[in-house]
Amino acid sequence: MKTWRATALLLVTAAAGAVVVFVIFHGGLVSHAASQHSVTLNWSPSAGATSYNIYRGAKSGGPYNKVGTTSAPRFIDTHVSSGATFYYVVTAVRAGKESGHSQEIKTTVP
């Protein structure tokens, strides 16, 4: 059985009052920007992935709860409150098998 894992590199910058985070994920670019009452995550597709699972936690290191699944490399989490801090990880699903978590992303909703 072949095992594979999500890999990531985290870079953080601030622009126009919003937090923007870029993460290298399976050779692609993941970005997320926090805007009032939503968090948008975008990433480059992972080769062979048929879907992605998005997990969110209230503290660093988890535990994380699954908040969505998408076949596109994009997810908008609209179930967030202004002023809340969240920690996200993403996994890729290929041939029915889920990868390990990407590097954690922290964001605070303005």
| CATH number assigned to the domain comprising residue 66 | 2.60.40.10
pLDDT number for residue 40: 86
What is the pTM assigned to this prediction? 0.70
Domain count, the chain: 1
pLDDT tens digits, one per residue of 20-75: 444 444 444 454 555 457 888 887 788 889 999 999 999 999 999 999 999 998 89
- Classify strands 38-42 and 74-77 as parallel, antiparallel or unpaired: antiparallel
pLDDT number for residue 36: 54
* pLDDT value at 14 more than 70: no
1 in a structural domain:
no
pLDDT tens digits, one per residue of 71-107: 998 898 988 888 889 999 999 999 999 999 988 889 8
2 in a structural domain:
no
